[in-house]
Chain A
Amino acid sequence: MNQTFDFTVVDSIIDGLGCKQSAIIAILQGIQEQYRYLPREVFPYLAKRLGISEARIYSTATFYENFSLEPKGKFVIKVCDGTACHVRKSIPILERLRKDLGLSDKKVTTEDLGFTVETVSCLGACGLAPVITVNDKVYPAMTPDKATELLNALKEEL
């Protein structure tokens, strides 16, 4: 284990939300927002501070789709594949993004930790289908070509 992990960030998240078992999901969300994933070091630490077993925290973290135990890219691209986006052809957009970045449904993050591409069931912006989001910013009425364009612009910011 990494001995030099700095827990002050984790501590301030716990203090902000209250050191209680029911806050575990919110605490994990806070940690993931900071690190873009859940570093393994936090599990034993949280278990000790909250007084619950590591297994219990791990079971919660692995149940919810939003938590990731692997580092995510700087830009997390979510392609909406809800019904409305699906019938307006969201899959070709997903395929283009994966092709451009050399990703697949198994390998979701690029080697340089620049991009993560995942699908999401519905973002509630169905009127603008198909949509994708990049770090929670919504991009409406996408096409595969617009997606390539967006990627090129984002690569400049890496």
Chain B
Amino acid sequence: MLKTRDDLINVRSIYGKSLELQTKKILVCAGTGCVSSGALEIFDLLTSLLIDKKVPCSVELQKEPHDASVGMKKSGCHGFCEMGPLVRIEPQGWLYTKVQIDDCEEIIEKTILAGEHIERLAYQKEGNVYKKQDDIPFYKGQTRMVLDHCGQIDATSIKEYFAIGGYTAFEKALYEMTPDHIINEISESNLRGRGGGGFPAGRKWSQVKRQKELQKYVVCNGDEGDPGAFMDRSIMEGDPHRMLEGMMIAGLACGASEGYIYVRAEYPMAVSRLKAAIEQATEYGLLGENILGTSFNFKLHINRGAGAFVCGEGSALTASIEGKRGMPRVKPPRTVEQGLFDKPTVLNNVETYANVPLIITNGADWYKHIGPENSPGTKAFALTGNIENTGLIEVPMGTTLKEVIFDVGGGMREGKKFKAVQIGGPSGGCLTNEHMDLPLDFDSLKKAGAMIGSGGLVVMDENTCMVEVARFFMNFTQNESCGKCVPCREGTKRMLAILERIVEGKGEEGDIELLLELADTISSTALCGLGKSAAFPVVSTIKYFRDEYEAHIFEKRCPTGNCQKL
């Protein structure tokens, strides 16, 4: 139990030294992707092989460490899920890909004991062998700031987080800054909400702080429902303490003593990692009452979602935490005034909170220098679909689409031609060849009729039928419409019916116009963000691929041959 500031500094230095002594480390990726490919079995086997061979090793940092023992660590998601299970070897920084049970003996014998590289396990492309993780083109084009711990440290241990300077930002905020000072720093940094809306976090915090109610709440939106997006999952699984630290700083700044984390039920591992992280932080006295000997009290709870996409919307999310149907309500009053249990509430998403410790530690000026002025910082994107390197990436805001798809993403699969990228999930739009030089940031995308959304980028090649894509998203939104307001409940049904007709070859003249009219009505009259943006994928595919719609309707032909009924 840490009771003073010195206690915290001390524990950081103990584990920092312990980590330094571990000259050799084996980091096995324990993200959802690699675990499903057998990473945990590999971790267990590597550990038991070390024990059998009498090589000193430790699965957790020790207070009084053995000299030069091999550190065995379950790391967070490296983002390169397709090449999993991934094993990173320190100090060399080598990355082994697609590691199998049969490779374990060799890894210990050759790499750990003899220091030799095993070429067959390295990432190879076009005849090049990439020994080091940082040299792989997929990583080279990235700026990993929020995700920098993911894959580099043990994601399951608070000691490891202490060892690399964890909770320094919280310490600074707690002892050296006033709430106003914290909020000023966040406002000054121009950190904008990473959940999709891009609302300035500092403004939100100051609005909550201003409220006179004594009870306030900090809520984290981990209900990452957009299909094709898994940035927040990786942060919750791979670096849970950083997110907790961000929430604690928000609590300190706004005068909240309780926080809730709402996580999708589809992310069981994120839930268990967060639970463990909260327990560890409570054990050390970083959560609870009179934290580190100050008057600050803060508790965190986890709520699991139950399979409703609409709960990603603020007022639906708070209703769900209260145990009600997750339906949005009319605003105002806004969440900052009357949110959870009708009290003033700061609601930000996972990635936003994970940015907070960076800003507090390094200052707003440092942060502002990354990315464009109006959207500073980095953004994590989930690259999926018909692209060579699928996975999780982080680039500065304002990176162009071309850089993301061709430099980091490695271009299209099987040499196919790029057709479009769907950004922002079911609320977003598509970008085409003409947008290749478009900087990816909040404002530029809005101008192009798309939105950054939470950060899902689904890349589609020439064989993808855009009408079918529009139907797919409309089917999704229609399913997830909560049914409270008429425009969304009925409008999405009608739009889906028309799209289904078109892909079945029963489209009629005037369908396109009718779709656009319905889209306009729904967007201007629906109650919440889900409804307002429900029609965006349709509008944007009509805008850029009207000829495909027309071929379906008038020629009864699907140009890509996807629609089987035609």
Contacts and interface: CB of A to CB of B under 8 A. Distances in A.
A84 B325 contact: no
Number of contact residues on B: which range applies? 35 or more
Nearest to B413: A88
Contacts of A125: 32-33, 36, 81, 230
Interface in B255-279: 264-268
Interface string B425-465: 10000000000000000000000000000001010100010
Interface in A85-133: 86-88, 120-129, 131
A23 interface: yes
Nearest to A80: B227
B392 interface: yes
A155 B349 CA distance: 41
A67 B305 CA distance: 11
A82 B228 contact: yes
B265 A29 contact: yes
Contacts of A21: 322-323
Given A122-B228, A125-B32, A126-B230, A86 B303 contact: no
A83 B228 contact: yes
Contacts, number: 135
A43 interface: no
A81 B35 CA distance: 20
Interface centre among A21, A22, A24, A124 (most CB of B within 10 A): A124
Contacts of B32: 123-125, 138
Contact of A22 (B81, B323, B460, B464): B323
B422 A140 contact: no
A59 interface: yes
B224 interface: yes
Contacts of A23: 323
A65 B320 CA distance: 13
Interface residues of A, number: 38
Interface string B11-43: 000000000000000000000110111000000
B326 interface: yes
B156 interface: no
Contacts of A24: 323
B189 interface: no
A60 interface: yes
B390 A124 contact: no
B131 interface: no
Interface in B298-333: 303-309, 320-327
B403 interface: no
Interface in B26-72: 32-33, 35-37
B386 interface: yes
B384 A129 contact: yes
B227 A122 contact: yes
B266 A123 contact: yes
24 contacts: A59-B325, A60-B325, A63-B325, A67-B306, A81-B227, A82-B228, A83-B425, A84-B228, A84-B390, A87-B385, A120-B266, A120-B307, A121-B480, A122-B230, A122-B266, A124-B224, A125-B32, A125-B81, A127-B84, A127-B384, A128-B36, A138-B35, A138-B36, A140-B33
